[in-house]
Amino acid sequence: GAGVSQSPSNKVTEKGKDVELRCDPISGHTALYWYRQRLGQGLEFLIYFQGNSAPDKSGLPSDRFSAERTGESVSTLTIQRTQQEDSAVYLCASSHEIAFWTGENIQYFGAGTRLSVL
């Protein structure tokens, strides 16, 4: 079946512009995550959606970052007034609802959006 799809695959923008990144999770997956990966670094957690629960926004680096999710489908990550330090690969992952008793959670990742802020 189809995996996690992200678009665009590459985005070049000028400092100060807003950008919107899109993620289509695997059908039926109720949990959705956004991560950021700077060049040569590990992944940083940004935000997590689980069904109709309030999202966990604890990883968002500033109020310029926001994300929305429509039901259990598409999510968009918006970065306002982009800065050069926002340049990174933005990765989206989805998973089945986390097993209630065990907390097991296997995440499936998209290929990412490479954002370059000039």
Partner 1 sequence: DAKTTQPPSMDCAEGRAANLPCNHSTISGNEYVYWYRQIHSQGPQYIIHGLKNNETNEMASLIITEDRKSSTLILPHATLRDTAVYYCIVSRGAGGTSYGKLTFGQGTILTVHP
Chain residues binding partner 1 by CB under 8 A are: 4, 31, 33, 35, 41-45, 48, 50, 56, 58-59, 91, 93, 95, 98-112
Give min distance, CB of 48 to partner 1, in A: 5
Tally Cβ neighbours within 10 Å of residue 12: 12
Nearer to partner 1, 3 or 16 (CB): 3
Give min distance, CB of 81 to partner 1, in A: 26
Contact 87, 115 (CB under 8 A): yes
* Residue whose structure tokens are 């296997």: 106
- β 108-109/88-95 pair status: antiparallel
Give min distance, CB of 114 to partner 1, in A: 9
Give min distance, CB of 20 to partner 1, in A: 19
Q: Kindly give, in sequence order, each residue whose CB lies less than 8 Å from that of residue 4, ignoring residues fewer than 6 positions away.
A: 23, 24, 25, 26, 92, 93, 94, 108, 109, 110
